Amino acid sequence: MKDYLQIANNKIFFFCGAIMITFIVLQSLLFFRLAYNEGLKLGLTKAKMLRAFRTGAISTIVPTIAVIVALITMVPVLGVPIPWIRLSVIGSAPYELMAAGIGAKAMGVDSLGGAGYNSQVFSASVWIMCIGSVWSVSLVAFLLKRIKKRYTKNIGADPKWRAVLMNAAFLGVFCIFIADPITKGGLPLVTLLCGASIMTVLALIIVKLKQNWLKEFALALSMIGAMACTALFSYLF
């Protein structure tokens, strides 16, 4: 256990993480500058753009809490730099945990950090986490123009059909994550049901009471609420 965590917390990983985070920050500043200059060209006032920036910054606080909680959860098993890098670039805790778990199972270990989880298993987890996510970036980089042409040709300019297609694809991605809790039951199923219930209540508030400001916070609140319910369930039962 100590051997693989010493590797996981090696200084070289922190150095690589610092480089990647610096690149992300510079990229964000570049996009901010381009958006700001484009806003000036369109006639938007500086005050209006700064107000929009402030609103966007505030709306990211709650979703960031969920990512931080995921980071704290992953650190004892995968060390500090790897989760830090992965969640900074991808930001999807469910995917990272699923991919790391697949890597462990491929090496014959049932759970992350469990019996037999050594440096070789850790390496397999990291490889799966990285390889599994590189394809989406590669597809966008090399095939985006072809995909857009085929997409436009097949569904045309009908916004309703486009919305149906995108929502179906989005739900398909979520189905990958809910299959495991449904089949295994236990705490994963409790977490799933609590998260779904909280999201349903928030959706009703947004639609029925016209509280559109909740849209930005609904996913993060349902995640945090589900984790809190699971912790309470574990304590009581």
The Cα 130–Cα 138 span in angstroms is 12
Q: Which two tokens stand for residue 44?
A: 């938007």
Burial zone of 112 (CB within 10 Å; 0-12 exposed, 13-18 middle, 19+ buried): buried
Per-residue pLDDT of the chain (237 residues), as tens digits, is 447 888 889 899 999 999 989 998 999 899 989 988 988 888 888 888 887 787 777 667 766 776 787 788 888 888 899 988 888 887 677 788 888 888 888 888 887 777 888 889 899 999 998 888 888 778 877 887 887 777 677 665 667 777 787 788 888 877 877 887 888 888 888 988 999 999 999 999 999 998 887 876 777 788 788 888 988 988 887
Q: Which two tokens stand for residue 119?
A: 């440096």
In the chain, domain spans? 1-142, 157-237
The Cα 60–Cα 28 span in angstroms is 14
Task: Report whether 130 contacts 93 (CB < 8 A).
Answer: no
Tens-place pLDDT, residues 79-132 = 899 988 888 887 677 788 888 888 888 888 887 777 888 889 899 999 998 888
Q: What is the pTM of this model?
A: 0.61
Q: What is the largest CA-CA distance in the chain?
A: 62
The Cα 125–Cα 101 span in angstroms is 7
